[in-house]
Structure 1
């Protein structure tokens, strides 16, 4: 099979009919079965559009989710959906206020929504061997970061898990059971979405989150141990990647800073085959930290922004790819948007037509470069 050098991160703008159906469901005007039917149809139409622009790896657009991460957490036993005083603070905006909080021992169950969602997506393409259905889930490190977000979450956590070791063992076990269930259902391409590294690269962000004097190196090691604990001894034919960014909500961002402070852990030691990295503006830093990338690993350059509709200059993209190839061999590079188009159901500020033009640009430039 010819190696592809273009890709997507995975989330897409929600169609208007899906948005309306979710609002109606919230108001009690339609039931779960009616909402699911709308989701099913929207996903079928999305997959056809993905195939039409030449994508060989497809997603369900995260159409069944409200958030890129919280829905997965809520799907584990022992976790409840809470409404804290504040949402997440982004540059100039605050998100809806939702969180995930421990209420009992964390466990995977066979009705986890990500497993159900993947089975539907995979059924749409399983008879097309040239097409791969990808499942994206938030990284274990992101789960931990949510469980310790705010004093109330921490207090509830300690009621159930007196020690971090007990917590980490259950997170790792629940994730591994989810991953193996996805694998048994046919998943061969799994992506771990992870904002923790991007946030940890921003000293000001973490000072605000954790207070003065937090141990940067210890937190890096915690994130690495959690993620790698989940990734140990997975099937050899399961491609596992990770996507790292600094927040993506309604075209805004949460953190800034290059990958330098985390590259020695993330790029050198995380046990994934590929890194999807945000590089769409100066906020992401330069390519220098790529020199830490472990030999043989793939880097997918997120050079095309999903936050704004304006199309990037093709020559600039080609020049930036060439620059990145001084750190990672060109054959180990690929091109994508820097993030999805709708990490939450609100979506970024561009139209569906503009969204597809972005993806067409990625495919066109990649085909010309490689």
Structure 2
């Protein structure tokens, strides 16, 4: 669908005010889970209608049922619990909330998962239409990194998993079981969101990691192993893609650096058919690393920022697409926003009208370039 249309989205949308209020009431004990679900259902139904009206053919639920783009998925596995840390994630000039995910037992897919429940409702809205429902989940490597985040998480990890190979096997199996359950529910378009590569390429971040005894090449190989371990023997008609980002929280970012240091791992060897890549400013580097992408795989250029309300100039976008086509065939390129509009429920600093204007720009430029 992406290469037919040559335009796409990453997935999350700004939370409507009615949804924000309902979640606040639920957190305060003033609204039941059943009533919160009714509000979520109504807001997701309205969102899908708006996505279709905007010309989108691949649609999402906006991640309206989530607080975080990643942690909610981790908490849905057996053996992983919701914890907090002294600090949140450190972004440029801002610190996030301090939630985390920690091993409490052997990791497993229990047969029930909030992402599975969420997808089933989204699919019910697209049945009988030409819309493709997409489910986004954080990558296995992202979960692996979270379980190693901080001394307390590491200590718990070592209590449960004396052998890291067992951790990787269980994590891959849990993810693969979730993916197959989503497939059985009708999912044919799955996207793995992944910030781990964005951390590895950041030289400043890497300096602090290196001081702790890490090796960049070894870690990149480990992330590839963890991701590919979950992506084995999947149905041939399941499109699996990955979105690689450097952080997206309240219009701020966490990392910087071009894709070069990890291109020979993630671009050349990850078992996905498409890459959604952040290229909205100088932090992302140039297009040269795209030469590592195997022929025939899709590259969705995230040239339109979701962090700022100002619209990019169409001519500039056309020029950058042309530049990228030096490394990837124009037929295998597409255009999107660089990330979602609300990777967490706080959302980026722009209005819903500005959000839809960004999507309109993506569609219009794609039609200008590809017809």
RMSD: 0.9
CA distance in 2, matches of 1:26, 1:320: 44
Cα distance between partner residues in 2 of 1:213 and 1:18:
44
Residue aligning to 1:81: 82
Counterpart in 2 of 1:258?
Answer: 258
Match of residue 4 from structure 1: 5
The residue aligned with 2:41 is: 40
Q: 1:343 aligned to 2:351?
A: no
Alpha-carbon offset, residue 93 of structure 1:
0.1
Q: In the alignment, which residue of structure 2 is the partner of 1:199?
A: 199
Secondary structure of residue in 2 paired with 1:261: helix
CA distance in 1, matches of 2:345, 2:108: 26
Q: Which residue of 1 aligns with 2:308?
A: 308
Secondary structure of the 1:101 match is: strand
Three-state SS of the structure 1 residue aligned to 2:4 is coil
**CA–CA distance in structure 2, aligned partners of residues 33 and 92 of structure 1:** 38
Q: Which of 323-332 and 198-207 deviates more?
A: 198-207
**How many residue pairs get matched?**
369
Residue of structure 2 equivalent to 1:116: 117
Confirm or deny: 8 A CA contact 1:301 1:335 kept in the other structure.
Answer: yes
CA-CA distance at 1:209 after TM superposition: 4.6
Structure 2 unpaired stretches of 5+: none
TM-score (norm 1): 0.98
Q: How far apart in 2 are the matches of 1:230 and 1:104?
A: 19
CA deviation string 1:250-303 (max 9, x = no partner): 000000000000001011111100000000000000101111111211100000
CA distance in 2, matches of 1:308, 1:63: 21
Local SS of the residue matching 1:266? helix
Summarize the alignment of residues 22-61 of structure 1 with structure 2, pairs less than 5 Å apart: 22-61=23-62
**SS of residue matched to 2:366:** helix
* Counterpart for residue 329 of structure 2: 329
In structure 2, C-alpha distance between the alignment counterparts of 1:151 and 1:210, rounded to whole Å: 17
User: In structure 2, do the counterparts of structure 1 residues 342 and 181 end up closer, same or farther at CA, with 3 Å as the change threshold?
Assistant: same
Distance in 2 (CA, whole Å) between partners of 1:206 and 1:110 is 38
Instruction: Report the CA distance shift for 1:237/1:83 in structure 2 as closer, same or farther (over 3 A).
Output: same
| Counterpart position of 2:368 | 368
Q: Which runs of 4+ in 1 moved over 6 A?
A: none
Q: Which residue matches 1:15? A: 16
Residue in structure 2 matched with residue 152 of structure 1 by the alignment: 152
Match of 1:275, SS state, is strand
For residue 189 of structure 1, report the CA deviation from its aligned partner. Answer: 0.1
Shift of 1:344: 0.1
Between the aligned partners of 1:185 and 1:233, the Cα distance in structure 2 is: 18
Structure 1 residue ranges without an equivalent (≥5): none
Is the contact between residue 207 and residue 214 of structure 1 (CA under 8 Å) also seen in structure 2?
A: no
Deviation at 1:212, TM superposition (A): 4.4
Separation of aligned partners in 1, 2:55 and 2:295: 29
**Correspondence for 1:279:** 279
- 1:133 paired with 2:133, answer yes
Q: CA deviation at 1:203?
A: 2.1
Residue number in structure 2 paired with 1:353: 353
